[in-house]
Amino acid sequence: MPTFVIRLARLTGRFLLGLAAAVALVVVFLVLIVLTDGAGSGLGAWLAALGVGTVAALWRSRRRTRAARLVPFLPVVVAAALTASVCIPTVPTDRQRPPALPFVATQHWSLATGSRVAVYHYPPAKRAARHPIPLVYLNGGPVRGISLLDHRFLRLLARQGYDVYAYEQAGGGRSDLLAMDQYTISRSVRDLGAFIDRLGKGKVDMLGFSSGGVVLTRALADADVSARLHRAVIAEPGPMDGPTAGISGHKGRDSARGLAPAMTGPRSTHVPRYAVGFGLMRLGLLTPDNGLIGQAEGDNAFTAADLGSDTASAYCARDAGRIPVEDTAQNFSFSPAASLRVQRTVKDSGSIAPQLRRSRTPVMLMIAECSSQVRQWATAILADDPAVQRTQYMPGVGHHMWNGLDDNNDRAVAVITAFLQNKPAPLPNYPTRDEIPAFLRGHK
């Protein structure tokens, strides 16, 4: 019995040493991935880690018997197999655009900035009174395709007599990619101005949602672009500049994050290559323009399920059990690297408050009761833009306010159209600029 225990202890010790060696090589590989920024799809880091492991195994085996000399190489083989999976793409590395939509034509417009964007047009319904000024929609993302849920909402606006245009920002959906260093918030603003010029119908009304609201806010602070805007609706905006992005504050009422069932479907983050690549990018250890995962490959790999609880956070806690399907796998498109790059340029930008204070374009701000956005992101716009004429605090909805549940779409349409037509607001003008401190103290 004591002999058996001794042998078992030795075997266990050798196994643990081998496991530790394999783990150490995996760590070396990951460190090299970071140091080389994933160069060569990670192959350089893999070969270097394999070389380190091989040299260490040769050193450990030098005094062993011939039969035992191969044992130190076992952890190297295991680590090499594990890390090789990080270097091998499992999706096409060329851009795979979503297929055409059956209910609206996809046009491709080349803008003066060099961007080539996918454009969708919903003409006003013939039975409705036509509004003379076009309405342009900027979706959230920041580099993401327009969801089917949003397309349904745009058709609803068209049925109210609006000539609705929407475009997917460069790199998103069916739009062409840009070089990674060209994804900036200032480029997004220039693209907006170029899109309005390409539309060629004079001034336009704008509806910007989430990060689209950020682009619209910064457009209002740009005298050249704001001159092209008639009225602007900013819905659930993100941070407008670096100082605003640095604010840590409370959010709205409880969302469905952590309450809703987990999203189903394949996840790229269940594949070692994309789990490592996207994870290191999110931590800031890989640049968006890294050599591990190309932009097109990352777009092809990322799925709606990878958003995880982010989708649930766009709905009220009371709706946790009935969150609608926002999109299909065929239409869903999100560029994690380009989105991260745009967000970083917002965080790195200086204050736009001085420019925003000179804006004269009439603005309405929409804030959701169960917003997942930091409240000060919206109230900063209200405080610094003197042209904000009304704020509509939307009860019973989360960040994605037009979500198809109950009468939420109709209520959002009523609020938007009332402002665009300069009619009385369906809801109280709340919070006003003077009510910001009380609004924040009340954790509304």
Q: What is the pLDDT of residues 345-364, one digit of tens each?
A: 999 999 999 999 999 999 99
Query: Of the residues 69, 84, 99, which one is the last residue of a structural domain?
Result: 84
Is the CB of residue 146 less than 8 Å from the CB of residue 332? no
- Considering the domain boundaries, does residue 289 fall inside one? no
The tens digit of pLDDT for each residue in 264-310 reads: 888 998 899 999 999 999 999 999 999 999 999 999 999 999 988 88
| pLDDT value of residue 127 | 84
Same domain? 153 vs 238 = yes
- Considering the domain boundaries, does residue 101 fall inside one? no
Measured distance CA(436)–CA(381) in Å, rounded: 11
Residues 6+ apart with CB under 8 A from 6: none
Q: How many domains does the chain have?
A: 2
Tell me the angle at which helices 272-282 and 336-347 cross, rounded to the nearest 10 degrees.
10
- Considering the domain boundaries, does residue 32 fall inside one? yes
The tens digit of pLDDT for each residue in 177-232 reads: 999 999 999 999 999 999 999 999 999 999 999 999 999 999 999 999 999 999 99
- Considering the domain boundaries, does residue 408 fall inside one? yes
Same domain? 119 vs 66 = no
Same domain? 54 vs 154 = no
- Considering the domain boundaries, does residue 269 fall inside one? no
- Considering the domain boundaries, does residue 121 fall inside one? yes
- Looking up residue 390, the CATH number of its domain turns out to be 3.40.50.1820
Same domain? 162 vs 227 = yes
- Considering the domain boundaries, does residue 154 fall inside one? yes
Domain region containing 44: 2-84
Give DSSP secondary structure letters for 75-130. HHHHHHHHHHTTSS-SS-SS--PPPPPSSS--EEEE-TTS-EEEEEEEPPPTTSPP
Same domain? 186 vs 63 = no
- Considering the domain boundaries, does residue 291 fall inside one? no
Question: Rounded mean pLDDT of 376-389?
Answer: 96
And the tokens for 65?
Answer: 């018997």
Angle at CA 420, nearest 5°, toward 227 and 403?
115
The tens digit of pLDDT for each residue in 398-415 reads: 999 999 999 999 999 999
Conformational region of residue 220, where left means phi above 0, alpha means psi within -120 to 50, and beta covers everything else: alpha
Give DSSP secondary structure letters for 184-238. -HHHHHHHHHHHHHHHTSSSEEEEEETHHHHHHHHHHT-HHHHTTEEEEEEES--
For the chain, the first-to-last Cα distance in angstroms comes to: 70
